[in-house]
Amino acid sequence: MGYMRERMGTIVAAFIGFALFAFIASEVISKGGSFFRDDNNELAVVNGEKVPYDVFNKRLEQSTAQFKQSGQNISPQITSYLQETTWNSFLSELLLKKEIEKTGIVVGDDESTSMVSGNNPDQQIARQFSDPQTGQFDRNKLEQFKAYLNSGKADPTQKQAWADFLMQLFEAKKQAKYMALVTSGLYVNSLEAKDDYEAKNKLVNFKYATLEYSSIPDAKVTLTDDDYNTYYNAHKGEFKNPQDVRSFEYVSFNAAPSKEDSVAIKTQADKLAESFKASTNDSLFVQINSETKAPLAFQKKGGLEPKLDTVMFNAAKGFVYGPYVSNGSYKIAKLTDVKTTFDSVKTRHILFNPATEGGVEKAIARADSVKKLIQGGKSFAELAAIFSVDKGSGSKGGDIPSFDVNGMMGAGGQITPEYANAAYKANKGDLIVVTSQFGVHLIQVEDQKGSVKVIKVAVVDKPIQASSKTQTIAYSAAQKFLGALTKDNFDAEAKKEGLKKRAAEDFAGTAASLPGLDNAREVVRWAYKAEKGDITDKVFTVGDQYIITQLSAIKPKGVLSLDAVKKQIEPAVRNDVKAKQLGEKFQAALNGSSSIDQVAQKAGTKAVPVQNIVFANPVIPGASLEYKVIGSVFGSQPNKLSKPVNGQQGVYVYVVDGFTNPPALTNTVREKQQIAQTLLQRSQGQILEALKDNANVKDNRAKLL
C-alpha cells in the first residue's frame, strides 16, 4: 500500500492521459479523422457559416437532372460548368440571405397572401395557372388546385412541393426588395448626362505620328529589377487574384493505339462483317458484339452519319457496309428494315411523377383514371394544368412541339424514344399511357402529317484501342522516368530523355479538364494538396497519356506578388523600357519643330491624319484601342504639338486640328434615364460581386468535388 501511495500521482496522471488518448482515438475512428482535419462534409465556410457538402450536392444533382432533360450528355466540361454555376448561385443566395436578415426585410402575411391569391398574383403563380388559349391567369384553376391540396386526396409529397415552391417565391421576393433598396440609391445628375452625350457625339480631327514598340528588337532591351518594380507598383490593382489558382509542368508518355493495334482490330472487324451478313437476328448481334449497344431505330434521310447516309438510302434490305473508320472505331453497318411513315407527329401530354404518386404502378393507375376523365368529356388542357408535373407544357394545355420519327423537334430538343415510338404507332386522336425516364405520360396524338422514307440500320463498332502491350511499354517508360526524379532534376531528366515539357497554368480547384488534358480531375486534386516544387508520387492516366507532374506555381487569392506575375508582365515591362527610348527620340524630334510633319520626318516615321473620332470609341483606325492617346487628344488644345504619349502599340505625338461640338443637349431627362437604365442592368451583378469580394470564404471544393 505504501508503494501505491507513493506513486498514486503518477498512476492518476497516466490514467488520465490514457483516457484522453482513448477519447481522441475514438473520435478519429468514429468520425474519419475529422478531429484533426477539416470536416469531410464541409464544402466551404462563408462568413463563419458552414456549407455542408450534402446540402450543396443535392442542389447540384437537381441542376444536373434539369440539364439532362435537355437531352445533352454530361461531359467532364459540363460537370465542371454545372458545379461552378450551382456554387455561384448557392453562394449568392447565402450572402443575400445574410444581408436581408441584417436589413430586416420580410414578406408579411398580407403580402404573401396577395402574392398567391390577390388580384395581381406573382407572375410565377399566374404562369402556372393560366388559360392555355388566352395565356391569362385563371383564378378558378388556382382555387381548384388549392382545394385539391386541402381535400386529403393529395399526396404529402405534392403538399411539400407546393410549400417549397411558395418558400422559394417568398425568398425571391425578399431578394427583389433588397436589390430595390440598394439600387434606389442610383442617381444620374445633369452633368453626367451632358458628359455622356458629348463623349458619344463630340468629334475630333487630329494628325499623329507613332514609333511602334516592335521597331526595337526585344533582344536589345535589358530589363532590371527596378523596371519590374516600377511597373508592378504602378499597376498593383490589376493583379488581384479572385481565387486560389495553381500551375504545374508535366511530361507525357503516349499510350495511343499503335499501327499494329489498329491492324489487329481491323482483322476482328473483317471477321465480324462476314458473320453480320449471315445474321438473322441483327438486334441480338449488335447487343453481343458491339461496344456501343444502341437500340435499333428508324432514321430519316440525314439522320445517319454522312458515310452511311447516301449509301444506305440507296441500298437494298440486308446490305452490309464496312468495316470503315469513324470516331475512333471500326464500324460495320447493316440495313435491316425500310418503310414509309409520317413525316411528323403532333401530341400533347400529362406527365405523372412516380416518386410523388407512390411508384410506377400507381402513376400508371393515376394516368388511366385521368384518361377516363378525358374520354368522359373533361378538357385535356385543363387537366394538364392541374395534374402535369411538366409545368412548361402543362401551362400550355400539355402541348408538345411536333417531332419526327427520331423524336427530333423542329425548334430543337428531343422526345424520348419511348414517347416517340408510341406516338408513331398510335392513330390520330388516340390516348395512350407510356413510361419513360421522366415518368408516366398520358399522351394524346393530335395530328400525323406527311410521308417519308425511313430506314433502320444496325451498327457494330469496335473501338481502336491500345493493346496491353502498347500500354505496358508506355507505362513502364513513365515509371522509369518518375523513379529518376528529384525536386531539382525534372528539367534535366526531361531533356535527357528527349521529352517535351508542357504546362497547365492558372487553373482553379474545380477544373475538370485542362488544355490538352481531358478528364484531369485527379491531377487537379493532387495539385491542390501539393506544395510548390512537389513531384507526383504516381503516374497519372489522362485519356491515352501517362503523365508525370511537378507543381510549378501557387497563386493565392488576393493581390499577387511580383514573383507570381513576373513572367506575365514581362512584355509590358519591356514595352515600358522601349517607351522611354522612343519617347526620347520623339522629344529630340520635337525640339525646333513647328508641325507634326516635321516631327515625323525627324523621327523617321510619317504623320497620319484621322477624322471624326469620338471619346466613347477610342479606336485609331488601322491601329487599335488607344484609351490613353484618345483621352489625351480630347484634353488638348488645337494646333499645339503634344508631348510623347505611351500607347498600347507604341509612343505617339499628335496635333489636334479641331473639335466639332454636337448640338446642345435639349432632353437631359431622356439622357439621364438611358444612363440610369444601363446602371440598373449592371447593378445586380455588381452587387453580388461586391458581396462575394467582401465575404470571408474558406473554399474546400478543390478537395471534395
More confident residue, 4 or 384: 384
Nearest to 413 by CA among 40, 55, 72, 697: 72
Contact partners, residue 199, CB within 8 Å, separation at least 6:
614, 615, 616
pLDDT at position 70: 66
Alpha helices in 219-258 (DSSP H): 225-234
Question: What burial class does residue 629 get, using C-beta atoms within 10 Å of its C-beta: 0-12 exposed, 13-18 middle, 19+ buried?
Answer: buried
pLDDT at 4 over 70: no
Each residue's pLDDT tens digit, 20-73: 444 434 443 333 443 334 456 789 999 888 989 998 988 898 888 878 776 677
pLDDT at position 21: 40
Residue 498 Ramachandran class (φ > 0 left, ψ -120 to 50 alpha, else beta):
left
pLDDT at 537 over 90: yes
Look over the chain and give the mean of its residue pLDDT values, rounded to a whole number: 89
Contact 478, 537 (CB under 8 A): no
Query: What grid cell was written down for 236?
Result: 498593383
Q: From CA 673, how far away is CA 692, in angstroms rounded?
A: 29
Each residue's pLDDT tens digit, 640-669: 999 999 999 999 999 999 999 999 998 899
Q: Which residue has the cell 464544402?
A: 43
pLDDT at position 413: 76
pLDDT at position 592: 94
Q: From CA 168, how far away is CA 148, in angstroms rounded?
A: 21
What crossing angle do the helices spanning 109-117 and 156-183 adopt, rounded to 10°?
110
End-to-end CA distance of the chain: 61
Q: Which residue has the cell 385543363?
A: 382
Model confidence at 460, pLDDT cuts 50, 70, 90, reads very high
Q: What is the mean pLDDT of residues 450-476?
A: 94
Query: What grid cell was written down for 393?
Result: 407544357
Contact partners, residue 489, CB within 8 Å, separation at least 6:
none
Nearest to 106 by CA among 188, 171, 40, 190: 171
Q: From CA 182, how far away is CA 180, in angstroms rounded?
A: 5
Q: What is the mean pLDDT of residues 283-308?
A: 89
Cis bond leading into 401, ω under 30°?
A: no
Q: Which residue has the cell 471624326?
A: 612
Contact 322, 331 (CB under 8 A): yes
The helix/strand/coil state of 659 is strand
**Strands 344-352, 545-555: pairing kind:** unpaired
Q: Which residue has the cell 449509301?
A: 311
**Strands 298-299, 452-463: pairing kind:** antiparallel
Q: From CA 538, how far away is CA 553, in angstroms rounded?
A: 20
Q: What is the mean pLDDT of residues 260-270?
A: 96
Model confidence at 10, pLDDT cuts 50, 70, 90, reads very low
Q: From CA 213, how far away is CA 649, in angstroms rounded?
A: 6
Query: What per-residue string of b and e applies to 169-198 under the rule 16 or more CB within 10 Å gives b?
Result: bbeebbbebbbeebeeeeebeeeebeebbb
| Count of residues making up the chain | 705
Q: From CA 351, how far away is CA 388, in angstroms rounded?
A: 5
Element (H, E) at 565: helix 562-590
**Strands 452-463, 697-699: pairing kind:** unpaired
Q: From CA 349, how far away is CA 433, in angstroms rounded?
A: 9
Q: What are the C-alpha distances in Å from 291 to residues 264, 322, 329?
A: 16, 16, 9
Query: What grid cell was written down for 546?
Result: 501517362
**Strands 240-241, 320-326: pairing kind:** unpaired
3-state secondary structure 452-505: EEEEEEEEEEEECCCCHHHHHHHHHHHHHHHHCCCCCCHHHHHHHCCCCCEEEE
Contact 355, 361 (CB under 8 A): no
Residue 543 Ramachandran class (φ > 0 left, ψ -120 to 50 alpha, else beta):
left
Q: Give phi and psi for 211, each to the nearest 5.
A: -115, 110
Of the ranges 293-307, 368-382, 540-554, 567-581, which one carries the lowest mean pLDDT score?
293-307
Question: What number of other Cβ atoms are within 10 A of residue 624's Cβ?
Answer: 11
Of the ranges 71-75, 138-142, 444-448, 460-464, which one carries the lowest mean pLDDT score?
71-75
- The number of helices, as runs of H, and strands, as runs of E, in the chain is 26, 21
Each residue's pLDDT tens digit, 327-341: 999 999 999 999 998
Of the ranges 87-101, 238-252, 407-421, which one carries the lowest mean pLDDT score?
407-421
More confident residue, 698 or 14: 698
pLDDT at position 287: 93
The residues pairing with 625 across neighbouring beta strands, listed in sequence order, are: 619
Nearest to 442 by CA among 376, 373, 359, 345: 373
HSE-up of residue 453 (Cα within 13 Å, Cβ side): 9
Model confidence at 134, pLDDT cuts 50, 70, 90, reads low
- Determine the residue type at 270: D
